[in-house]
Amino acid sequence: MSSPGMDEASSLQLCRLMLPDDANFMGNVHGGIILKMIEEAGSIIGTRHCNTQNGDRCLAALVRVEKTEFLSPVFIGEVVHVSAEITYTSKHSLEVQVKVIAENILTGAKKLANKAALWYVPCSLQNVDKVMEVPPIKYASPEKEEEGRKRYEAQKIGRMETKARVEEPMPLRPNLEDAPQERHTVGFSQSSLIHLVGSSDCTVVDFVYGGVAMKLMDEVAGIVAARHCGTNIVTASVDAINFHCKIRKGCVVTVTGRLTFVSNRSMEIEVLVDADSLVDRQTGKYRAVSAFFTFISLDKENKPLNVPPLKIEGDDEQKRFEEGKSRYLQNKTRRLAEKERQQ
């Protein structure tokens, strides 16, 4: 009996060379490229695991990514290694933990770029809306299983809490020329992009890979951050992302980002993804994904810069700012506690 994470079926590594199109004008690889690779690894290992059972063949569909931090910048020409391992299974879902290491293949230097945890649900190939059962994994110890069960319960609560955001109206996209001219307001940097879902974005059963959606989300958040600062910006972290609904081939997705909170050194950007079937009027427009991205501003030596304060206008912006501030303070407290624990 092999221990979990060691046998073929429950661990996986993938790697790719970072190309110019993966990075911004300073050579910093976009966070969205890393998120897409993380999800690709999770989707492969999840799908492989769920097909070790009898019954319908199935695909693992991403339903949630836990809060994740970008620990070191990655550059063009480096090789990114993503290793994934199944760490918990419930009856209908599984958790994949992923580690991202960036390697300078000329010097051999390696650095930890990211760690993430993703939740998948197996969908039948015969009927994508039918959720299959997940074969159980073996745990190294009862403690490991218990820890996994706690993470499972926590994410269930987390998903419940963000249900509200499904209902939150998509902010209106002002015409570029009607957009507010005053710098550092929320309206000034708010941005949207629209993407027509093609076959290269989709799984074999024609819904969009979670990683493709996250790449678009990071792209729009980066535009918001660059507009606010006018400097080189990079993704610092992403709050838990929930995938409320599948996005199908042929849909148009509208990805909108707006600043919610700004500290001295960071910007929080809310990103909402709405999907709209062009040809099926009955489905209508629906909220498919939502998340908060945190960006920081860097100088030419990749040292952090101060971020211009956000000019708040109206009660809604004030409310979102306060909520963002409380997320910011919670994260700060959590990070300090972790540091102390490690000492």
The region that residue 250 occupies, defined by phi over 0 for left and psi between -120 and 50 for alpha, beta otherwise, is left
CA 323 to CA 48: how far, in whole Å? 39
The three-class DSSP label of residue 76 is: coil
Q: Which is nearer to its own copies, 14 or 245 (CB)?
A: 14
The least distance separating its own copies from the CB of residue 154, rounded to whole angstroms, comes to 28
What are 86's strand-pairing partners? 96
Q: Which of 220, 254, 194 is nearest to 31 (CA)?
A: 220
Write down the residue that tokens 């693992």 correspond to: 60
- 22, 218, 239, 274: the active-site residue: 218
The residue (of 47 and 90) whose beta carbon lies closer to its own copies is 47
DSSP string computed for 30-63: PHHHHHHHHHHHHHHHHHHHHTTSSSS-EEEEEE
The nearest distance, CB 2 to its own copies, in angstroms, is 13
Cα-atom radius of gyration of the chain, to the nearest Å?
Answer: 20
Q: Quick check: is 24 catalytic?
A: yes
Nearer to its own copies, 8 or 340 (CB): 8
- Residue closer to its own copies (CB basis): 54 or 343: 54
Which C-beta is closer to its own copies: that of 154 or that of 278? 278
Which residues in this chain contact its own copies in the complex, by CB under 8 A?
Answer: 12-17, 19-21, 24-25, 40-41, 43-44, 47-48, 51-52, 57-59, 76-77, 79, 81, 83, 101, 103, 105-108, 110, 125, 173, 175-177, 183, 191-196, 198-200, 202, 204, 219, 222-223, 226-227, 230-231, 249-250, 252, 276, 278-281
Give me the catalytic one of 24, 104, 302, 331. 24
Alpha carbon 223 to its chain centroid, in Å, reads 16
Shortest gap between Cβ of 175 and its own copies (angstroms)?
6
Q: Smallest distance from the beta carbon of 331 to its own copies, in angstroms?
A: 27
Residue 257 near residue 223, CB atoms below 8 Å? yes
Q: What share of the chain is helix, strand, coil (3-state, %, to 5)?
A: 30, 35, 35
As given in the structure block, the two tokens for residue 205 are 């059963």
Nearest distance in Å: CB 5, its own copies: 10
| Active-site annotation, residues | 24, 218
